[in-house]
């Protein structure tokens, strides 16, 4: 059984479902990316605020949250 790579899968989807479906998928990824980048920026602002106030445990929690959003953004870009 042959595994599909990203280009082959995209080509298959274009043929099978038509161009509108592929456009929908790219729009969906764009929407997810927009949401994740907003959440990342919000966590970044909170981290900076916690650092300014000297609240170290909350600062580290915000950094972990930023890291999680960054990993999710990389996953969305990869798909």
What residue numbers bound the domain in which 68 lies? 26-78
> pTM surpassing 0.85?
no
Q: How confident is the model at residue 77, as a pLDDT? A: 79
Is residue 3 situated within a structural domain? no
> How confident is the model at residue 30, as a pLDDT?
78
In a domain, 43, yes or no: yes
pLDDT at 3 over 80: no
pLDDT, tens digit (0-9, with 9 covering 90-100), for 20-57: 555 555 666 778 888 989 999 999 999 999 999 999 99
d(CA 32, CA 27): 9
How many structural domains does the chain have?
1
CB-CB contact of 43 with 65 (8 Å): yes
Residue 7 within any structural domain of the chain: no
Which is more confidently placed, 58 or 34?
58
């Amino acid at each position: 059984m042959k595994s599909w790579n990203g280009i082959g899968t995209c080509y298959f989807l274009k043929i099978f479902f038509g161009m509108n479906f592929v456009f929908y998928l790219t729009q969906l990824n764009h929407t997810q990316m927009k949401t994740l980048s907003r959440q990342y920026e919000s966590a970044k602002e909170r981290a900076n605020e916690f650092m300014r106030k000297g609240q170290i445990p909350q600062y580290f929690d915000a950094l972990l949250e930023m890291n999680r959003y960054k990993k999710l953004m990389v996953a969305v870009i990869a798909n």
